[in-house]
Chains A and B, each alone.
Chain A
Amino acid sequence: MRRRVVPYFLLGPGAAWLLLFFVVPLYYLFELSLNSGVFGSYEFSWHWANYNDALSLYDTQFVRSFKYAGLATVFALLLAYPLAYTIAFKAGRWRNVLLFAVVAPFFTTYLIRTLAWETILSDQSPVVSVLDAVGLAPEGRALATGGAVVAGLTYNFLPFMVLPIYASLERIDVRLIEAGKDLYASASQTFFRVTLPLSAPGVVAGTLLTFIPASGDYVNAQFLGSASNQMIGNVIQSLYLKQSDYPAAAALSFVLMAAILILVLIYIRFAGSEALMGEEAV
């Protein structure tokens, strides 16, 4: 019925931009990772050894990145779920105020927010004395520790966890929850057998949206961590922009992408794919 070319015409400019400046660069990243030589005269030579060298030199940072990102994701989930639940079911006329509070951090620059945590966690801060008192800040220090980096990551990506969970909770037909109660399920049974499974797509989307950016982040480790809390992002940034060791940096970057892709695919296999492809299913 409709002219066949119209959709391609509409799609054209955007698809071209994404192909040229997202897909093609990934190929160049791969090509650069197989270069050899010294700065100024890198040459393409199928130099697979770059991968071996990069991985054996920086395996600790890789493992640490996934550990920090994983911890931040778990903490974000634990904090986000009660908040999303409250906004969806309990907030009443406060709903918009709470939603505003969730997105408000986005209105201040990411770097400044992270620097604010540097202030909050600095040695003279009252927060640190409290943490010290409850045994969470050994020797009265919170800054420049792994805990500070994880806290920063948790904070910075929390809205990405809250919003998808809220969206999936809000979509739940309240009658299903009422039915659970009518059938004599206790409050916790209703939650674990009705509400939680129905909000699973939001949880899956939220964990991905938190874990993926967190594992590649280097701002939090830079400002809130010390030299022994460096993540793989710090290594890649420094190899690219300070040491100009492009092939090694490209190899690490490529491995990071592949590792995340594999983790995400495994995760989706267990958790179901609606969350990632959900938007298309509508």
Chain B
Amino acid sequence: MGGRGGGPWRWLREHAVQIVAVLVVLYMLIPIAVIFAFSFNDPAGRYNFTWVGFTLDHWSNAFGIPELNEALVTSLKLAVLATLISTVIGTLMAMALVRYEFFGRRAANFLIVIPMATPEIVMGSALLSFFLLIGTFSLGFETLLIAHVMFCISFVVVVVRSRLIGFDRNLEEAAKDLGASPFQTFRLVTLPLIMPGIFGGAMLAFALSIDDFVISNFNSGTTVTFPLYIFGAAQRGIPVEVNVIAMILFFFTCAAMGFATWQQRRAEKLTSVRPEQEVGVGAGVPAGAPAAT
């Protein structure tokens, strides 16, 4: 693609934005490449900072460090529980906010936005102060779970709500007209249609929980999660297996993400089975245009 008449300078000028964008993408991906590369490193000392030589030892020994495994299992358990609880609670909240007009709606919205606009360190230290002063909870898995559900709820609500807003209520009306009970309508029409939103919210909650360091750092007591293990190990040199597990988690998340996208496409196909073309499309909206904005 040489520049027509203007030479390479002209081409550069016309594509400057894209070139910057590609450089930014590289900047975002380089650390991941480094983590991946150094999972094959064979470091001389305890510090995995300089490249020494290629080895597969750490991949075959991925789960060979007991404390690391324990931390990983704790993190997974915590993330699964926090995801389940926050997804159920958050979905209910999103339904209330989108479908009903009620007194206190603005206050509820505010209550959901404000934790997202609060630095983690403030939330972490406030919760620690709370646990210290009331004294009924001993710091550990229990307090971690409370904290993780707390910071996941808002994100679940935001994701599920955006899905509910684009929801075509006519589909529910149609189900009712065809004799479905409210529960059947919910189970067979509403739920499948908002499922990608719920799944997206759940995935976000899981990712936030398993990656959380700051709030956990304050409220973990002696319980060690995967990020807390890394933080503790950072001082004395991080085992290469941490890189291996990080990459396993990375590929696993990519797969989940692919699945979510596929599900979303399916749901979009389901909603597009409406006879849109015949109903008042006179305004010039192309038939294939996405329904939701």
Contacts and interface: CB of A to CB of B under 8 A. Distances in A.
B112 interface: yes
B170 to A, nearest CB: 18
B119 A111 contact: no
Interface in A250-282: 250, 253-254, 256-257, 260, 264, 276-277, 279-280, 282
B68 to A, nearest CB: 13
Contacts of B28: 101-102, 104-105, 155, 158-159
A13 interface: yes
Interface in B69-94: 89-90, 92-93
Contact of B117 (A100, A111, A208): A208
B119 A216 contact: yes
A167 to B, nearest CB: 10
Contact of A240 (B21, B120, B128, B238): B128
A15 interface: yes
B50 interface: yes
B31 A15 contact: no
Contact of A237 (B157, B217, B246, B247): B217
Contact of B32 (A26, A105, A250): A105
Q: Which of B50, B126, B218 gathers most chain A CB within 10 Å?
A: B126
A83 B20 contact: yes
Interface string B105-148: 11011011111011111110111111011100000000000110
Interface residues of A, number: 87
B255 to A, nearest CB: 10
Interface stretch (B57-65, B189-197, B224-232, B268-276): B224-232
B158 interface: yes
Contacts of B178: none
A112 B30 contact: no
Nearest to B41: A119
Interface in A190-247: 208, 212-213, 215-219, 223, 233, 236-237, 240-241, 246
B205 interface: no
Interface in A159-213: 159, 171, 208, 212-213
Interface string A80-112: 101101110010000010101111111111111
B150 interface: yes
A28 to B, nearest CB: 4
A279 B158 contact: yes
A17 B90 CA distance: 11
A82 B108 contact: no
A233 B20 CA distance: 32
B126 A109 contact: no
Contact of B115 (A18, A28, A280): A18
Interface in A133-162: 155, 158-159
A156 to B, nearest CB: 10
B35 A14 contact: no
B117 A108 contact: no
Nearest to B253: A107
Contacts of A276: 113, 117
A57 interface: no
B25 A98 contact: yes
Contact of B17 (A86, A106, A280): A86
A279 B106 CA distance: 12
Interface residues of B, number: 88
Given A108-B250, A113-B35, A7 B112 contact: no
Given A87-B21, A108-B250, A119-B38, A11 B96 contact: yes
B249 interface: yes
A21 B126 CA distance: 9
Contact of A219 (B97, B125, B214): B214
B1 interface: no
Given A101-B25, A217-B119, A237-B217, 8 more contacts: A7-B100, A29-B129, A107-B254, A111-B227, A112-B230, A233-B214, A237-B218, A277-B109
Interface of A: 2, 4, 6-8, 10-11, 13-15, 17-19, 21-26, 28-29, 31-32, 79-80, 82-83, 85-87, 90, 96, 98, 100-113, 115-120, 122, 124, 155, 158-159, 171, 208, 212-213, 215-219, 223, 233, 236-237, 240-241, 246, 249-250, 253-254, 256-257, 260, 264, 276-277, 279-280, 282
Interface of B: 17-18, 20-21, 24-25, 27-32, 34-35, 38, 48-50, 89-90, 92-93, 95-97, 99-100, 102, 105-106, 108-109, 111-115, 117-123, 125-130, 132-134, 146-147, 149-150, 153-154, 157-158, 161-162, 165, 207, 210-211, 213-214, 217-218, 226-227, 230-231, 234, 238, 242-243, 246-247, 249-250, 253-254, 257, 261, 293
24 contacts: A7-B99, A11-B108, A14-B92, A17-B150, A22-B114, A22-B123, A22-B126, A104-B32, A107-B249, A107-B250, A107-B253, A108-B31, A108-B32, A108-B247, A115-B238, A155-B27, A158-B28, A212-B117, A216-B121, A236-B125, A250-B129, A253-B126, A256-B119, A257-B122
